[in-house]
């Protein structure tokens, strides 16, 4: 018999918790016998006193086991079950690209994604801009699409890691979200519940990143790799840059449109291409589908160039209720915002700095994200043709195009974009797209 207040007291007094105590606490969270106040007290104790790697593994596994755990063995898939998770950013649409790419290379990608959070866009909101696409199929349908197509991107079901959902909602309103130990358990419990063989974690660094500093991003990456591997799932983390939007666009339907253009070869800007290949190649290596990163990249480029990756994307959309001809008719299917306003550069010079978080918040302000959980999303609004760091611009040249529902909203966003971009005379210090790999 474990007394919840005794478990909280131990953590408050910096004493280690054992596996049984953590499991008992999480069971109580799931069945409701642990109160909201007790979850809040526990989260605050962890926030100040942290958890060892062993405690983090126990917390992760207990949250995984609080609900349904998907298994894939009975389907006898001829390849590994792989996934990628990102800490979130602006114009970060790599999931839409690498899921189909990895599937075309023999991997199976059951990707359970989230909605937008704060200034960051959510993969689920992007896919919801596709008419008919079902982001919440039942488990049997989800497994069937993964088996038949090789990739399915859907939302978290109520059955997967329900303890995490309750703990997260309480952390969100008690100023304990930033605990690296609890972020680790939150992310990995859902990924382990999806039955993965391997996970590649994309941890963002910079002004648009979730973590406030490079050091904190490294700390999270190391924690996720140690705990993921400790819980029996091969895990690697890649530190990637978020000092500017990753793609030259931000906004739900606009990012889907860009993703189709990328997969079909109409456009492949360097930064998106490099980051996508880096993450997807690590997935292939972890899954044993490539002997090293170089071979992984070659296979992925072949899957893009042959059209196989685009074909997997089209099959996934159709299998989940979207239009069968999306690759051909996406311009009509995804729709357009009625107002498009160029944001003119106030002077000539070099784009020296971009406040990436402010760019994301401008999209939220247009209606492309949520201020409150119950808000509805305007899928067509957002930004395109966003300038890059280090780019030389002339006076009056567009820094971005704002896609808005009305002129007033467009002008508001335009002034936010102007404030977010710093133009200088000297050449800018452009950060690398990829910082480090932690495995």
Query: What is the average pLDDT across 82-100?
Result: 95
Picking from 89-93, 147-151, 223-227, which range would have the lowest pLDDT averaged per residue? Answer: 89-93
**Rounded to a whole number, what is the distance in angstroms from the first to the last CA of the chain?**
39
Query: What is the average pLDDT across 209-221?
Result: 92
Identify the helix (H) or strand (E) that includes residue 159. none
- Over its C-alpha atoms, the chain yields an Rg (Å, rounded) of 22
CA distances from 147 to 107, 111, 325 (A): 10, 13, 22
pLDDT digits (tens, 9 = 90+) for 30-41: 999 999 999 999
For residue 371, the model assigns a pLDDT of 72
- Structural domains of the chain, ranges and CATH numbers in brackets: 4-49 (1.20.970.10), 73-329 (3.40.1030.10), 336-424 (3.90.1170.30)
For residue 118, the model assigns a pLDDT of 62
Query: What is the average pLDDT across 410-421?
Result: 98
CA distances from 194 to 13, 111, 148, 180, 296 (A): 35, 8, 17, 21, 24
DSSP assignment string, 117-148: BTTB--HHHHHHTSTT--SS--HHHHHHHHHH
For residue 177, the model assigns a pLDDT of 84
Query: What is the average pLDDT across 401-413?
Result: 98
pLDDT digits (tens, 9 = 90+) for 278-298: 999 999 999 999 999 999 999
Confidence of residue 336 (pLDDT cuts 50, 70, 90): very high
Residue 117: pLDDT over 70: no
Residue 226: pLDDT over 80: yes
Q: ∠77-81-83 over CA atoms, to 5°? A: 150
CA distance 360 to 91: 8
pLDDT digits (tens, 9 = 90+) for 163-197: 998 998 898 889 898 899 999 999 999 999 999 99
pLDDT digits (tens, 9 = 90+) for 95-109: 999 999 999 999 999
Q: How far is CA 315 from the centre of its chain?
A: 22
Query: What is the average pLDDT across 4-9?
Result: 97
Residue 116: pLDDT over 70: no
Confidence of residue 407 (pLDDT cuts 50, 70, 90): very high
| Longest distance between any two alpha carbons in the chain, whole Å | 71
CA distances from 407 to 31, 221, 360, 412, 419 (A): 50, 42, 19, 9, 19
For residue 121, the model assigns a pLDDT of 67
For residue 78, the model assigns a pLDDT of 97
Catalytic residues: 83-86, 123, 171, 186, 190-191
80-116 burial code (b ≥16 CB/10 A, e <16): bbbbbbbbbbbbbbbbbbbbbbbbbbbbbbbbbbbbb
């Amino acid at each position: 018999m474990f007394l919840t207040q005794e478990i909280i007291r131990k953590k408050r007094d910096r004493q280690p918790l054992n596996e049984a105590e953590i499991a008992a606490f999480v069971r109580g969270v799931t069945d409701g016998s642990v109160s909201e106040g007790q979850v809040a007290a526990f989260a605050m104790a962890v926030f100040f006193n942290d958890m060892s790697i062993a405690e983090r593994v126990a917390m992760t596994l207990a949250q995984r086991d609080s609900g349904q755990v998907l298994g894939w063995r009975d389907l006898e898939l001829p390849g590994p079950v792989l996934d990628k998770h990102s800490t979130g950013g602006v114009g970060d649409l790599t999931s839409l690209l690498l899921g189909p790419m990895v599937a075309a290379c023999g991997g199976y990608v059951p990707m359970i994604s989230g909605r937008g959070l704060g200034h960051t866009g959510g993969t689920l909101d992007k896919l919801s801009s596709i008419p008919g696409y079902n982001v919440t199929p039942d488990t049997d349908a989800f497994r069937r699409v993964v088996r038949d197509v090789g990739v399915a991107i859907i939302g978290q079901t109520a059955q997967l890691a329900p303890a995490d959902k309750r703990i997260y909602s309480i952390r969100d309103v008690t100023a304990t979200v930033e605990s690296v130990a609890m972020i680790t358990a939150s992310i990995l419990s859902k990924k382990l519940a999806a039955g993965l063989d391997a996970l590649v974690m994309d941890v963002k660094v910079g002004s648009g990143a979730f973590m406030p500093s490079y050091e904190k991003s490294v700390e999270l990456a190391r924690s996720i790799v140690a705990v993921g591997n400790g819980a029996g799932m091969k895990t690697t983390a890649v530190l990637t840059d978020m000092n500017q939007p990753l793609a030259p666009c931000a906004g739900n339907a606009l990012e889907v449109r860009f993703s189709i253009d990328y997969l079909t070869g109409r456009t492949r800007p360097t930064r998106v291409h490099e980051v996508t290949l880096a993450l997807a190649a690590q997935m292939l290596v972890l899954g044993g589908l490539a002997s090293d990163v170089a071979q992984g990249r070659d296979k992925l480029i072949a899957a893009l160039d042959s059209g196989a990756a685009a074909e997997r994307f089209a099959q996934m959309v159709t299998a989940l209720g979207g239009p069968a001809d999306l690759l051909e008719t996406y311009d009509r299917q995804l729709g357009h915002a009625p107002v498009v306003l160029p944001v003119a550069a106030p002077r000539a010079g070099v784009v020296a700095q971009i406040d990436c978080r402010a760019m994301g918040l401008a999209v939220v302000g247009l209606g492309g994200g949520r201020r409150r959980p119950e808000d509805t999303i305007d899928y067509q609004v957002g930004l395109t043709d966003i300038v890059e760091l280090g780019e030389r611009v002339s006076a009056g040249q567009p820094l971005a195009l704002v896609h808005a529902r009305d002129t007033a909203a467009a002008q508001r966003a335009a002034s936010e974009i102007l404030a977010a971009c710093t133009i200088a005379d000297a050449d800018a210090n452009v950060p690398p797209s990829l910082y480090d790999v932690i495995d």
